[in-house]
């Protein structure tokens, strides 16, 4: 099974639909942080193939995303070169369950057409297992090795379970199916033998002589074809030589027109005035540059680092002038801070007093509040009893109404019973009279039957029925005999019976009504008694709820008293309880108001204290800031002018400051300012003279550009154009002349003049070379014509190949005068083209005859080999029939299949042992299990030579051992043409050191190199470093997402220590 593409929606962390295209990748790594959804990809594959969630023993509800109503997985995969697509869908139903699952399997052809479709869960499961060749349990031990279950086949599985899985992997059941087909193949072998004998009789006896004749004719045709092919090639070469000569002559003429050495002389003449101007301007520029250097030296001699500069002096004077006012401001801020501290102490005392008053009021309110619940409970209890009395009053009143309606219903039913009895007394005599009439009618019918027996026997018969007398079929023309008296008696009997049936139904209905009426009357009386009992009970409960005395009585027939009369005592008790509660609450409101006033006073005192403290913070902050600003102002003044003022650390201690040092510093700064102004005037003079010198240099630069640079650029461009023309001519002539190097601007006049001279020398050389090429082309054209004449004559001498006689006229056309060679090139080309066409036609005919003769010979040679082997094959078919019989007996279920499974398992351990030794540096290998199928697998510690159970290995060692088994399984299946086309490993790499990790990745690379897919799921960044195709899984607000990383992203991920998310944030990998 080789996955091609998978689409996941609603499974685990894959909330939205995500598609993963594996394409032609053979080695992939799936990486991501814990919980990102890496293992969910394998869960999706297992669910798509088998409809199960056996990776973690989860139910489908646990596998479905919590926020999704649909879980859908579509997996397209290949098996044995065929492409299939399986789709599974589960949907949520009500009450937290799932609807019936849906499944579909489609087989696609090479062009994407649908070849087969399987639907429903069970047929899809059976077909998938047949395609893969493994059930889900074996699949999770050989193809997908899930997280936490990687070492089950090595450590946990019992030998019997392991043997069953290996038999599925080795597909021994296919051998059992093969045994069933052996008998059929034996019959086919017998039929084949008879057909071989018939085929031998259809061919001649001396097959070798016939083949020798065919071989001779084929060899002769091949020789003639080779001769004509040589003539064809020589004709083509002659035509090509003529074409090249023509091209060379044309290029030579063009070169004469474009390449002229005199053009270089003109460029040299244009260069002379430019050289003179360049020398003059250079001398003037040298003089000005010397004056500019002298002025700069004088300017640099003015001192700039002997004290504060002009900017520092300009910044110092305003700072010193404002320093006295800033000192006064700092002293005022300190006075304000001391006043705020005194105000805060007064506010704190007022707050303590207000807090004590508020606490006393709060205690009084709490004491009074504790007295309210009993009073409220009494009101609620009284109100509840009144509510119960109202409900029981309504109940009693309703029961009285129901008693009245029930008594009326009982009276109506008694009346209906009397009416039914009267109707029954009338209906019974009517029934008796109808029965008497029926008896008289039956007697009349009997007498009529006896009087006309024939008509009675024919009653109800039709033509074609069986005659009751002769038992024959009545004819079509038969009509029954008629007796009017018998018919009338029958009609009278029928009418009498109808009257009896009607009267009987009436009597039966009336009796049923009487019985039903008596039952309903009994039910009504029982209901009336029940209502009267309920009324008595409800009256007792009403008396209890309303607090009535025993004098309150209600008779069954008397009207019920009004509710005001019955519930008056209960309502009076409720009013009294509510009055007590209202009085208590009024008193509580007064206490509450007192408490509120105390709270307001306390809050006011607290707010005053808060404001006082804020004033301390504000004035303290202002004093600190003012003092800090004063210190910063002092620090901003350069050291030579900075006055020495004494300032305290705490602003509260600041009272007075001596400002005499400030005046002394101001006088020193003004004296320094005068010195700096004199130096500035001298610098301005020197800079002005330097600027005048630079202006003169710029004027010289403009003159140089106009008189020197622009003419030089024009000359360089013209020289480059001539060099390009010269290079094109050399290239077209394929000459070996060396072109001088290109000259690029900027360049001086001397160098340019030298380049002009070199290019002129090459032009003179090329002109002489062109003339030589022209003469050489003429000679080559003459030789090509001579060869063409010889080829035409040789072609005329070949007969019997189906060619035309056009070559006979070619030779005269090719005889030309050497002096008229340039004018006859077109005639030569036409003649040579005709010669080439004739040679090609003759060569094609010869090739056709040679191929036909060779095919005839080869076909018979192939048949000859088959015919010579037919007799031997017939004997072999007979032997095959015997062998098939033996094979049929050997492939029956028994010792052979058991031996085959053991043999394959031992081969598996041999290969896995070699892989284990390579990955553990020869530390471990697998022990030989012997000849017992249920032998426990053991691992040999090569350092000690002792065999040990795989369960005793460490986690990393178990991982390496299981990986060796998995690789051995893939290798064994590949050797035998099996279907293990992919291998997926979930985690385990974190338990390996760097050496073992490299060995494991190298072993997996060997498997992927055979065309199988190897998938590694890990959070280890080093895995991504060694595998080219890396699928990064990340989890966000919309669920898990996947991205194939580029090479740069993989390298950034390998350098990151913070996992996939961190690497993405560092380098923008997944944006």
Q: What's the pLDDT score for residue 709? A: 81
Nearest alpha-carbon partner for 121 in 88, 93, 92, 85: 88
pLDDT class for 699, splitting at 50, 70, 90? Answer: confident
- The two structure tokens encoding residue 136: 């889900």
Report yes or no on 442 lying in a domain.
no
Q: 848-866 pLDDT, tens per residue?
A: 888 888 888 888 788 777 7
Whether 111 has a pLDDT exceeding 70, the answer reads yes
Q: What's the pLDDT score for residue 230? A: 80
Q: 878-887 pLDDT, tens per residue?
A: 778 777 767 7
Least confident among 69-73, 282-286, 296-300, 471-475: 471-475
Question: Cα–Cα distance between 65 and 11 in angstroms, integer?
Answer: 5
Q: Which of 159-168, 208-217, 807-816, 925-934 has maximum average pLDDT?
A: 208-217
For residue 45, say if its preceding peptide bond is cis, omega within 30 degrees of 0: no
Cβ burial 528-564 (10 Å sphere, 16+ → b, else e): beebeebbeebbeebbebbbbeeeeebeeeeebeeee
pLDDT class for 1063, splitting at 50, 70, 90? Answer: very low
Q: What's the pLDDT score for residue 1071? A: 44
Q: What's the pLDDT score for residue 812? A: 53
DSSP run (H or E) holding 118: strand 114-119
Q: 461-517 pLDDT, tens per residue?
A: 677 666 665 666 777 666 766 667 777 887 888 888 888 888 888 888 888 888 888
Region 758-787 average pLDDT: 76
Region 175-197 average pLDDT: 72
Report yes or no on 473 lying in a domain.
no
Residue 484 or residue 332, greater confidence: 332
| Strand pairing report for 1013-1018 and 982-986 | parallel
Q: Is 325 exposed, middle or buried (0-12, 13-18, 19+ CB in 10 A)?
A: exposed
Question: Which DSSP string do the residues of 394-461 spell out, in sequence order?
Answer: HHHHHHHHHHHHHHHHHHHHHHHHHHHHHHHHHHHHHHHHHHHHHHHHHHHHHHHHHH-HHHHHTTT-
Q: 226-245 pLDDT, tens per residue?
A: 887 887 787 787 777 777 77
Task: Using a pLDDT cut of 90, give the percent of the chain over it.
Answer: 7
Q: What's the pLDDT score for residue 936? A: 73
CB 317 within 8 A of CB 639: no
Question: Cα–Cα distance between 50 and 128 in angstroms, integer?
Answer: 7
pLDDT class for 109, splitting at 50, 70, 90? Answer: very high
Region 544-571 average pLDDT: 71
Report yes or no on 625 lying in a domain.
yes
Question: Cα–Cα distance between 1044 and 519 in angstroms, integer?
Answer: 87
Domain extent, residue 628, equals: 314-370+590-653
Report yes or no on 594 lying in a domain.
yes
Mean of all residue pLDDT scores within the chain: 78
Report yes or no on 551 lying in a domain.
no
Instruction: Specify whether the backbone of 751 is left (phi greater than 0), alpha (psi in -120 to 50) or beta.
Output: alpha
Q: What's the pLDDT score for residue 77? A: 93
Report yes or no on 546 lying in a domain.
no
Q: Which residues touch 980 (CB under 8 Å, ≥6 apart)? A: 1, 142, 143, 169, 969, 970, 973, 974, 1012
DSSP run (H or E) holding 116: strand 114-119
Task: Using a pLDDT cut of 70, give the percent of the chain over it.
Answer: 81
Q: What's the pLDDT score for residue 934? A: 60
Report yes or no on 614 lying in a domain.
yes
- The two structure tokens encoding residue 257: 């027109």
Whether 597 has a pLDDT exceeding 50, the answer reads yes
Q: What's the pLDDT score for residue 93? A: 84
Question: Cα–Cα distance between 1016 and 1028 in angstroms, integer?
Answer: 12
Q: What's the pLDDT score for residue 241? A: 75
Q: 32-72 pLDDT, tens per residue?
A: 888 888 888 988 999 999 988 655 556 777 888 888 889 99
pLDDT class for 1062, splitting at 50, 70, 90? Answer: very low
Whether 626 has a pLDDT exceeding 50, the answer reads yes
CB 791 within 8 A of CB 234: yes
Q: Which residues touch 527 (CB under 8 Å, ≥6 apart)? A: 406
Domain tally for the chain? 1
Report yes or no on 808 lying in a domain.
no
Q: 127-160 pLDDT, tens per residue?
A: 998 888 877 877 776 777 665 444 565 665 566 6
- For residue 992, the 8-state DSSP code is S
Whether 367 has a pLDDT exceeding 90, the answer reads no
Region 189-210 average pLDDT: 72
Residue 37 or residue 782, greater confidence: 37
CB 207 within 8 A of CB 941: no
Region 809-819 average pLDDT: 50
pLDDT class for 893, splitting at 50, 70, 90? Answer: low
Question: Cα–Cα distance between 309 and 672 in angstroms, integer?
Answer: 9
Residue 671 or residue 55, greater confidence: 671
Whether 999 has a pLDDT exceeding 90, the answer reads no
């Amino acid at each position: 099974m080789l996955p091609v593409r998978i689409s996941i929606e609603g499974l685990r962390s894959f909330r939205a639909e995500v598609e993963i295209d594996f394409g032609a990748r053979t080695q992939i790594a799936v990486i991501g942080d814990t919980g990102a959804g890496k293992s969910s990809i394998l869960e999706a594959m297992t669910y798509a193939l088998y409809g199960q969630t056996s990776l973690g023993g989860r139910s489908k509800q646990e596998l479905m995303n919590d926020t999704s109503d649909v879980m859908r997985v579509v997996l397209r995969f290949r098996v044995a070169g065929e492409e299939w697509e399986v789709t599974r869908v589960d949907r949520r139903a009500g009450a937290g369950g799932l609807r019936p699952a849906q499944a579909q399997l489609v087989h696609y052809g090479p062009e994407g057409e649908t070849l087969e479709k399987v639907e429903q869960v069970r047929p899809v499961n059976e077909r998938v297992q047949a395609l893969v060749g493994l059930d889900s349990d074996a699949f999770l031990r050989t193809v997908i090795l899930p997280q936490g279950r990687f070492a089950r086949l090595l450590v946990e599985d019992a030998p019997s379970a392991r043997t069953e899985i290996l038999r599925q992997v080795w597909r021994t059941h296919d051998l059992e199916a093969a045994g069933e087909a052996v008998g059929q193949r034996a019959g086919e072998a017998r039929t084949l033998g008879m057909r071989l004998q018939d085929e031998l009789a259809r061919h001649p006896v001396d097959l070798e002589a016939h083949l020798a004749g065919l071989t001779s004719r084929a060899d002769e045709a091949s020789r003639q074809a080779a001769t004509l092919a040589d003539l064809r090639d020589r004709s083509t070469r002659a035509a090509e030589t003529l074409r090249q000569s023509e091209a060379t002559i044309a290029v030579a003429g063009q070169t004469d027109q474009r390449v002229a050495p005199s053009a270089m002389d003109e460029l040299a003449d244009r260069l002379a005035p430019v050289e003179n101007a360049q020398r003059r301007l250079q001398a003037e520029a040298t003089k000005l540059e010397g004056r500019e250097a002298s002025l700069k030296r004088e300017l640099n001699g003015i001192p700039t680092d002997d004290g504060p500069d002009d900017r520092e002096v300009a910044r110092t004077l305003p700072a010193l002038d404002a320093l006295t006012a800033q000192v006064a401001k700092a002293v005022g801020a300190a006075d304000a801070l001391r006043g705020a501290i005194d105000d805060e102490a007064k506010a704190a005392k007022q707050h303590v007093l207000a807090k004590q008053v508020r606490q006393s009021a709060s205690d009084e309110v709490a004491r009074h509040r504790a007295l309210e619940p009993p009073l409220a409970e009494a009101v609620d209890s009284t109100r509840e009893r009144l509510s119960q009395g109202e409900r029981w009053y309504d109940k009693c009143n309703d029961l009285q109404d129901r008693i009245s309606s029930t008594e009326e219903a009982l009276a109506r039913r008694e009346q209906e019973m009397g009416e039914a009895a009267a109707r029954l007394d009338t209906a019974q005599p009517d029934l008796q009279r109808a029965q008497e009439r029926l008896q008289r009618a039956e007697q009349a019918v009997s007498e009529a039957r006896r009087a006309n027996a024939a008509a009675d026997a024919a009653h109800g018969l039709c033509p074609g029925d069986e005659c009751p007398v002769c038992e024959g079929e009545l004819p079509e023309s038969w009509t029954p005999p008629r007796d009017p008296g018998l018919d009338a008696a029958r009609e009278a009997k029928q009418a009498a019976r109808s009257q009896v049936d009607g009267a009987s139904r009436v009597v039966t209905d009336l009796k049923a009504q009487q019985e039903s009426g008596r039952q309903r009357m009994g039910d009504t009386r029982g209901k009336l008694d029940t209502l009267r009992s309920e009324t008595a009970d409800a009256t007792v409960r009403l008396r209890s709820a309303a607090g009535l005395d025993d004098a309150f009585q209600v008779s069954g027939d008397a009207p019920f008293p009004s509710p005001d009369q019955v519930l008056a005592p209960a309502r009076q008790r409720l009013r009294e309880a509510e009055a007590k509660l209202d009085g208590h609450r009024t008193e509580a409101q007064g206490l509450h108001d007192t408490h509120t006033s105390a709270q307001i006073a306390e809050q006011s005192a607290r707010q005053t204290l808060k404001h006082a403290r804020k004033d301390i913070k504000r004035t303290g902050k202002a004093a600190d800031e003012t003092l800090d600003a004063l210190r910063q102002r002092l620090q901003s003044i350069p050291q030579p002018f900075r006055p020495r003022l004494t300032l305290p650390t705490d602003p509260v201690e600041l009272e007075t400051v001596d400002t005499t040092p400030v005046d002394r510093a101001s006088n020193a700064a003004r004296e320094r300012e005068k010195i700096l102004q004199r130096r500035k005037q001298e610098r301005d003079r020197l800079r002005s003279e330097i600027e005048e010198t630079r202006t003169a240099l710029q004027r010289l630069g403009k003159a140089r550009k106009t008189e020197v640079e622009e003419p030089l650029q024009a000359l360089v461009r013209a020289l480059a154009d001539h060099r390009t023309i010269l290079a094109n001519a050399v290239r077209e002539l394929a000459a070996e002349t060396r072109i001088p190097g290109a000259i690029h601007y900027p360049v001086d006049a001397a160098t340019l003049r030298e380049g002009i001279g070199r290019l002129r020398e090459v032009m003179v050389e090329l002109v002489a070379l062109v003339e030589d090429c022209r003469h050489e082309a003429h000679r080559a054209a003459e030789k090509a014509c001579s060869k063409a004449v010889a080829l035409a004559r040789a072609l005329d001498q070949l007969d019997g190949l189906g060619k035309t006689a056009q070559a006979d006229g070619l030779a005269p056309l090719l005889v030309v005068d050497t002096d008229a060679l340039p004018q006859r090139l077109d005639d030569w080309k036409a003649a040579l083209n005709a010669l080439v066409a004739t040679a090609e036609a003759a060569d094609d005919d010869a090739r056709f005859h040679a191929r036909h003769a060779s095919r005839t010979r080869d076909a018979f040679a192939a048949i000859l080999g088959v015919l010579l082997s037919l007799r031997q094959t017939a004997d072999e078919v007979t032997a095959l029939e015997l062998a098939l019989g033996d094979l049929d007996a050997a492939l029956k279920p028994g010792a052979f299949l058991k031996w085959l499974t053991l043999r394959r398992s031992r081969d598996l351990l041999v290969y896995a042992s070699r892989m284990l030794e390579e990955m553990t540096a020869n530390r471990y290998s697998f022990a030989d299990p012997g000849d017992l199928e249920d032998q426990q697998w053991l691992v040999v510690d090569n350092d000690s030579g002792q065999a040990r159970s795989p369960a005793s290995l460490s986690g990393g060692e178990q991982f390496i051992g299981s990986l060796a088994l998995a690789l051995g399984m893939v290798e064994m299946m590949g050797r035998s043409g099996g279907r293990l086309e992919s291998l997926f490993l979930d985690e385990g790499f974190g338990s390996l050191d760097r050496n073992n990790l490299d060995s494991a990745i190298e072993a997996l690379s060997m498997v992927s190199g055979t065309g199988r897919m190897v998938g590694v799921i890990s959070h280890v960044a080093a895995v991504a470093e060694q595998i080219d195709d890396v699928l990064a899984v990340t989890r966000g607000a919309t669920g898990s997402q996947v991205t194939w990383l580029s090479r740069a992203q993989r390298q950034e991920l390998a350098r990151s220590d913070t996992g996939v998310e961190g690497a993405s944030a560092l380098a923008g990998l997944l944006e």
